[in-house]
Structure formats: C-alpha cells, structure tokens
Amino acid sequence: MNENEAAAGRAPASTPERRFRARLLAAAVGVAVVLYAVSVPIGAAVYGVNVAAMFALALLTCGAIPLAVRMPWVAAVAASVSANVFTGLSAGSADAPWPWPVTTIIAAAAMLIVAGLTRPWWTGLGSWAIVALPLVPWGFRDAGAAADAIAAAAIALLALAAAIAIAARRTIARELFQEREHAAEIDERRVLVEERNRIARELHDVVAHGLSLIHVRATSAPYRVEGLPPEATAEFGEIAASARTALGEMRQLLAVLRSEETVAESAPQPGIPELDALIDSVESAGVPVERSIGAGLPDAGILSTTVYRIVQESLSNTVRHAPGAAASVDVDRRDGRITVRVVNGPAPQGDARVTARAERETGGGHGLIGMRERATALGGQVEYGETADGGFRVLAVLPAGERPDDEERP
C-alpha cells in the first residue's frame, strides 16, 4: 500500500484496476493535448482573450482532465478557476456560446467522466458542483447567456451520469468475477481434499496389508521357530498385539475418510507388476504404447502403487484427450530414484490435446492433482506439460528408498 492510499484509508488497487487507470490516463492526456491545441486559437480569435493569458488558461482547463485521475478535487477547482477567469477576460460572441466556449464544455465533461469512472459518485457530483455552480452569476447577463450556461451545466452533468453508470457496471462485473474466482478456489480446495482422501484410502489398503503380514508372522513365530525362549515368545506376542491395534486404528481412520457415497474396494491395490496388464488394456482401446519397465522395481507397497497410479492417470488422459495418439511408458530405477515418464503424441485431429488442458485439472479422476499429491506424499515431484509437437509429457521422480532384497538382510 502506498502512502497516498494509506492516507486515504483505501486498499491498494488491484492489477486490473491499475491497468484500467493507466489506459484512462493515456486517453485523458490525448484528449487534453487535442483540446489544448484547439482552445488557444479559439479563445484568442473568437473571444478576444489575450494570447499569453489564453495559453495559461487552456493549460489549466485541459490539464484538469488527466489530473482528475489522481486528484479530482484539485482538477475541479482548476477547471472552475480557469473557466471563470476566461469568462471575465472574454468579450463574448454573438455566434458562439458564452460564458463557456465549446472547448471548455468538452474539457469539463471529459474531466467529470474521468472523475466518475475512478471515484465514488459523490466525488463526481461534488466536482460537477464546483465547476457548474459558478455559471449561475454569469447566466444573469441575458437570456442567451442563461441558456448557454444551463446547456453547459446539463452537458457536464449528463457526461458525469454516464460515467457513474459505467463505473457501477464495472463494479458489479468486478464483484461477480471475484465471486467466481472465490467459488473456483473453494471448488479447487474441495477437489484437493477429496483427492487426498481417495489417496489415503488407497494407502490404507497398502499399509494394512503390511501390518497384516507383521501380525501373522509375529503370531505364528512361536509355532514356526523351535526353541524360542519365553522372552522372545512374549515379544512376538506384543508385536502381534501392536499390529492388531494399529490395524484397528487404521480401520477407524478409513471410516472417517470414507464418505457415504464411497464404495469399499475388496481387491488389493495394484502395483508395478500390474503395469503390463494396464498397458495391454490401453492398447486394446486403440492407443499404441511402447513400454520399458526396468529391473529392481518394488513389487508391492506404497511406492509401487504410486507408480501404477501415475501411469494409469497419464494413459487415461491420453485415451480421453488424444485418442489414437501413440504413447510411451518408461519406468526406471537408478541412483536411488524411480523415474516414471509417460509421453504421448498429438491426437490425429491435431487440437484435442491443446483444448483439453483445463479439463484435465477438474475432470475425471482429477489426474494431475492426484499425481502431484501422490508424489509429494512420498517426497517426490511431478512435472507435466505440452511437448513441442503438440503432445503431452508426464515426468515423475520418486525416492526409491531401500531395494526390496536389501530389506531382507539383517
């Protein structure tokens, strides 16, 4: 917030409002320059005002137009002083309006339009009063002067009214736009929460499977291993009890996350071993896919499920938004990271991928949001965007952790 806005108790103008005022200022300067070039010869030749004085008066009259963008009250006073001094110095004209020439009427109307567009209506009305009320004494000169004064004041008032109406419509449009933005933000947050809940429900199945294995092995250890001391048997019992408790707490957590519309899944969560079947199903839908699945990848667990879901969402987007386009899937493990790369070319129609960018964020299974959330949960990252040929690329880099065969080592 700058000093002027802080002193006036106003919030800083938004970027669109600043752009509007900048364009308005440029237009006001243009109008002022044209009127200045016309006012001086008219005032000197038609109304008999001294040329030097006319230069100064025209500068005040025309300069009030751009000045009204920032200081409408000062601009109104300047225009009023200039108009009254001009009237006092002019000799009048039988063929031209008096007490204001046409150029002064236009300048006053332009100044009030600027004030009406940028300030509250009462500021514009006050500016009109400052400019128009001094016309009253000059109107008593004769009937012609009274008619000209009334016409000048009416023209200025009509210009102000039009500006106030336009400003009111702009305000309504701006408020509607802000409401739509707010609604879109709320909807985006809702989608994000729903996607996180969906991911959490999936991860519950993965973690629950691991806890079940711990419980089973801890419970069966005294029967599988002969000669265990009582202390070890008791330790395995405590491990089994902890696993049962953790499973119960996870079921309670899942009950909180599951909405009334959620259908419980009975099948185990898919992982990297199921990628070939997934790709085969995509190819059966008419999308040729080149695949490269590296070695040393986890067969199960959260990381395996995350890789599967990223590939699944990427290929689903290809089927929906670039039907018939060739795609490639590359999953590799090196340097302690798992890299997932899914790339597809442009659709045969040429424009399906480009027009679908906005749909991807809010459509279907919220693919890109889900990818981003899954990768972030594991400490990884996802990048996506259009390729040079009009296709689309998804690149995910996930920390691999320990190798599966290392976990079995003591």
- Ordered by start, the domain boundaries in the chain are 3-182, 194-257, 272-399
Higher pLDDT, 168 or 240: 168
Please state, in angstroms and rounded to a whole number, the distance separating the CA atoms of residues 77 and 84: 11
Among 78-92, 99-113, 123-137, 215-229, the least confident range = 215-229
Between 293 and 403, residue with greater pLDDT: 293
Q: Which residues contact 365 (CB under 8 A, 6 or more apart)?
A: 313, 316
**149-205 confidence digits (pLDDT tens):** 899 999 999 999 999 999 999 888 888 888 888 888 888 787 777 777 777 766 666
For the chain, give the mean pLDDT: 81
pLDDT at 6: 43
* Residue % of the chain over a pLDDT of 70: 82
Residue 166: what pLDDT?
93
pLDDT at residue 339 in the model: 92
Q: Which residue has the tokens 């023209």?
A: 155
The answer on pLDDT for 36 being more than 60 is yes
Q: Which of 201-205, 209-213, 223-227 has the lowest mean pLDDT?
A: 201-205
- pLDDT-above-90 percentage for the chain: 31
Residue 366 in this model has a pLDDT that exceeds 80: no
The closest alpha carbon to 281, from 216, 329, 212, belongs to 329
Exposed (0-12), middle (13-18) or buried (19+): which is 43, by Cβ within 10 Å?
buried
Token pair of 392 as six digits? 């689309």
Following DSSP, what letter does each residue of 332-374 receive, concatenated? EEETTEEEEEEEE---TTSSHHHHTHHHHHHSTT-HHHHHHHH
Residue 320 has pLDDT above 70, yes or no: yes
pLDDT of amino acid 32: 95
For the cut 80, the answer to whether the pLDDT of residue 1 exceeds it is: no
- The residues facing 342 across adjacent strands are 329, 394
CATH architecture of 272-399: 2-Layer Sandwich (3.30)
The residues near 59 (Cβ < 8 Å, ≥ 6 apart) are 36
Asked whether the predicted pLDDT for residue 132 surpasses 50, the reply is yes
Q: Would strands 381-386 and 327-334 be described as parallel, antiparallel, or unpaired?
A: unpaired
pTM: 0.53
Report pLDDT for 54: 93
